[in-house]
Amino acid sequence: MEIIKPRTLSGFMELLPDKQLRFEKMVEILRRTYASYGFAPLDTPAIEDAKILLAKGGGETEKQIYRFQKGDSDLALRFDLTVPLAKYVALHYNDLAFPFRRFQISKVYRGERAQRGRFREFYQADIDIIGDGKLDILNEAEIPAIIYKVFRGFGLSRFQIRVNNRKILTGFYGMLGLADKSGDIMRTVDKLDKIGPDKVRVILLEDCGLEEAQADEILKFIAIRGTNGEVLSALEGYAGKNEVFDAGLAELKAVTANLAAFGVPEENFAVDLTIARGLDYYTGTVYETTLLDHPEIGSVCSGGRYDNLAGYYIEKQLPGVGISIGLTRLFYVLDEQGLLNPALPAAPADALVLPMTADPGPAIALAEELRGCGLRVQLYCEQRKFKQKLNYADKLGVPFAVLLGEDEIAEGKCSVKCMATGEQRRLSPQEAAGWIREEVNTDCPVILEK
């Protein structure tokens, strides 16, 4: 038979089992955290009618999308989870209770030019809250709590949720008589972290056509720093001059007011006037999240408030707020930087049961009993020499081997060997389960702080 050389397409992540187990652990934490805030899981098709996916159309999206014909149908793979959500909400509008809260952790597809660390198939882990007609600001205040819980769940404490409000920026530019240029200005200011204030000033003057005084006002504004209280009180100095600004400031204060009740420590949250988010559809609160020791990674969780989710599909005003984590890229970067915790159990089983007698019956029953105690147990089924069996246990990385020979069977016990220390104990099945459960620390963090 002719051999076809196996390969996985470039830009598609495919993990070995130990890495996959860590990835799954992160997904599990996301799923549990999102669910704990009352978000319903959603699972839309990966393929949609191309006309629907591209309703907004234009630009990069259309170039990157995987689009193809099947029979008479013009199909495409989803490139994010927001457009399918908009379709879903419009289609099932009458069957949903609003506010509608959903999470979706699914793969999306973008046929970008392949480069290191960029993926063509990647997971997004999204939550959104969709209102019918209106949506209270309190929803926007809850989002940082959820982000906080997710990253704490991953094992991190050195991260910061940065929050701003687009209305504050729009209102402020309005005060300067720059309302019509606010989009260009925000996109420029958004680059501040990357290019620094001097270059931002040059772009504002040369590309955006601002006057020097205007550019200086903007640079002074976005240079406002300090505790949340200090930033808010600096903003009060601009109040009363522009309605949109005042509305944004009121919202920002509402979002920061209840952080303590939500359990978000002050050090994990910052009002940051430089955050604007590039996307035009955000209209209020915007969020970014950075790892303090790894600012080079950029934002690992972003989102914001928008006013009209599904205008392309339904004549209803459906405002919402949502965040998204690009999980595949996050995992890739964490792995690259050596931040995945090697102590996290990455073996497919907690214990490998090795039958040492001709009749496998007692070993089978023992494995079943240990499973009944909640352990993940593999029964070793092959007829191999003892040394080969232990080599397999080593290669698999299982923390415990459980040996069952004639002596153990006669005693109603088993020999439990800790693979890391070599320590071996003769225990009853229940005692064995107890020891293994004690040592297999499934609660240790996925990500390490260095």
The size of the interface with its own copies (CB under 8 A), counted in residues, is 100
Residue 59 or 374 having the CB closest to its own copies: 374
Interaction with its own copies in 140-179: which residues (CB under 8 A)?
A: 142, 145
Q: Which of 61, 62, 80, 111 binds its own copies (CB under 8 A)?
A: 111
Q: Which of 117, 395, 421, 438 binds its own copies (CB under 8 A)?
A: 395
Contact 450, 343 (CB under 8 A): no
Minimum separation from the CB atom of position 333 to its own copies (A) = 18
Minimum separation from the CB atom of position 359 to its own copies (A) = 9
Q: Which of 175, 232, 297, 364 binds its own copies (CB under 8 A)?
A: 364
Per DSSP, 68 falls in state: E
Minimum separation from the CB atom of position 428 to its own copies (A) = 18
**For residue 282, which phi and psi values (nearest 5 degrees)?**
-75, 135
Q: Based on the shown chain and the rule CB under 8 A, indicate whether residue 269 belongs to the binding site for its own copies.
A: no
Q: Based on the shown chain and the rule CB under 8 A, indicate whether residue 239 belongs to the binding site for its own copies.
A: no
Residue 41 or 196 having the CB closest to its own copies: 41
Q: Which of 62, 75, 179, 208 binds its own copies (CB under 8 A)?
A: 75
Q: Based on the shown chain and the rule CB under 8 A, indicate whether residue 223 belongs to the binding site for its own copies.
A: no
**For residue 393, which phi and psi values (nearest 5 degrees)?**
-60, -40
SS3 222: helix
| Segment near its own copies (CB under 8 A); pick from 104-112, 161-169, 179-187, 331-339 | 104-112
Q: Based on the shown chain and the rule CB under 8 A, indicate whether residue 265 belongs to the binding site for its own copies.
A: no
Q: Based on the shown chain and the rule CB under 8 A, indicate whether residue 387 belongs to the binding site for its own copies.
A: no
Q: 318: which 2 tokens?
A: 């459906």
Nearest in space to 301 (alpha carbons), one of 323, 331, 277, 279 = 323
Minimum separation from the CB atom of position 219 to its own copies (A) = 36
417 bridge partner residues: 401, 424
Count of CA atoms in the C-beta half-sphere (13 A) of 314: 20
Interaction with its own copies in 19-48: which residues (CB under 8 A)?
A: 20-21, 23-24, 35-48
303 bridge partner residues: 287, 323
Q: 289: which 2 tokens?
A: 């999240």
- Segment (H or E) for 329: helix 327-336
Residue 103 or 221 having the CB closest to its own copies: 103
Q: Which of 91, 179, 208, 232 binds its own copies (CB under 8 A)?
A: 91
321 bridge partner residues: 129, 305
Q: Based on the shown chain and the rule CB under 8 A, indicate whether residue 385 belongs to the binding site for its own copies.
A: no
- Segment (H or E) for 388: helix 386-396
Q: Based on the shown chain and the rule CB under 8 A, indicate whether residue 358 belongs to the binding site for its own copies.
A: no
Interaction with its own copies in 311-330: which residues (CB under 8 A)?
A: 311-315
Minimum separation from the CB atom of position 433 to its own copies (A) = 13
Contact 419, 393 (CB under 8 A): yes
| Segment near its own copies (CB under 8 A); pick from 171-179, 230-238, 292-300, 361-369 | 361-369
Task: Give ∠ CA 447-274-305 in degrees, rounded to 5.
Answer: 75
Q: Based on the shown chain and the rule CB under 8 A, indicate whether residue 250 belongs to the binding site for its own copies.
A: no
Q: Based on the shown chain and the rule CB under 8 A, indicate whether residue 441 belongs to the binding site for its own copies.
A: no
Q: Residues of 379-415 as b/e, b for ≥16 C-beta within 10 angstroms?
A: bbeeeeeeeebbebbeebbbbbbbbbeeebbeeebbb
Q: How many CB atoms lie within 10 A of CB 304?
A: 26
